[in-house]
A = this chain, B = another copy of it.
Amino acid sequence: IYTMGVDIGSTASKSVILENGKKIVATAVVDVGAGTSGPSRVMSEVLEKANLTMDDISFTMATGYGRNALEEADMQMSELSCHAKGAHFLFPNVHTIIDIGGQDAKALKIGDGGHLENFVMNDKCAAGTGRFLDVIARVLEVDVSDLQDLDAKATKDVTISSTCTVFAESEVISQLAKGTKIEDIVKGIHYSIASRVGSLAKRIGLKDDVVFTGGVALNKGMVRALEQNTGYKIHTSPMCQLNGALGAALFAYQKQRNLERKSKKLV
């Protein structure tokens, strides 16, 4: 049995194909999200990588911000449940998920069985989200993907005192004018986000294993900053951006099995 999970976020579309609810057959990420060609492109891409067609997929589960617009899906599920499910597959001992996405940040409390117990979320303020990194990267004239390498080269601690993205942008401009090195500024920015998101996570309480997901989790500088801020070992995986799609594919497998059981009873 093949099942597919599709996670349509605000800034990216992600998909995972799973075999028998256990083996990841293929994954794909497209850098545009809801309301674009992203969802259909990510599905073609993941099918091609798996060397399958839509007819081979038993059940497709959509999640994420744009999940209701995906006509190909058999069902939709909340991204929070999918995140919990995906992280529990990758890290069976997960109890806290910190997720920083393109324009929100959330912290999830996960029970022993991998179910969602509680969560807190910020989607009102750009500070502490991926958007903050986008804004600062633009000012520094670097690519967001370069931020982790820059952070690794930092030699001095620079404090960005404004929490607001807009005021922090001005602070960065005046640091540049003072001759502060870009790498030191980048490290300061990572600490700033870590402090915002760390406070968010502390509201639900942290417990090992702490798993960091979402696109921003690919940035090792952010991982280090979060470890320093929270005092916990932070687990990530190259799959971290695909966590929601993975959870959706896992739920798709469960649904498919339930359907099969029911149809057997009917026969």
Contacts and interface: CB of A to CB of B under 8 A. Distances in A.
A125 interface: yes
Contacts of A132: 166
B131 A163 contact: no
Contacts of A124: 162-164, 167
A213 interface: no
Contact of A135 (B103, B125, B166): B166
Q: How large is the interface on A (under 10, 10 to 19, 20 to 34, 35 or more residues)?
A: 10 to 19
A252 interface: no
Interface of A: 103, 124-126, 131-132, 135, 162-167
Given A125-B125, A131-B166, A166-B166, 4 more contacts: A126-B164, A126-B165, A126-B167, A165-B165
Q: Taking the full assembly, how many copies of this chain does it contain?
A: 2
Contacts of A165: 126, 164-166
Contacts of A164: 124-126, 165
Contacts of A166: 126, 131-132, 135, 165-166
A167 B166 CA distance: 11
In the complex, the 8 A-B pairs of residues with the closest C-beta atoms, listed nearest first: A126-B166, A165-B166, A126-B164, A125-B164, A131-B166, A126-B167, A124-B164, A135-B166
A167 B103 CA distance: 8
Contacts of A162: 124
A128 to B, nearest CB: 11
Contacts of A163: 124
A175 B94 CA distance: 41
Nearest to A135: B166
A37 to B, nearest CB: 16
19 contacts: A103-B167, A124-B162, A124-B163, A124-B164, A124-B167, A125-B125, A125-B164, A126-B164, A126-B165, A126-B166, A126-B167, A131-B166, A131-B167, A132-B166, A135-B166, A164-B165, A165-B165, A165-B166, A166-B166
Nearest to A165: B166
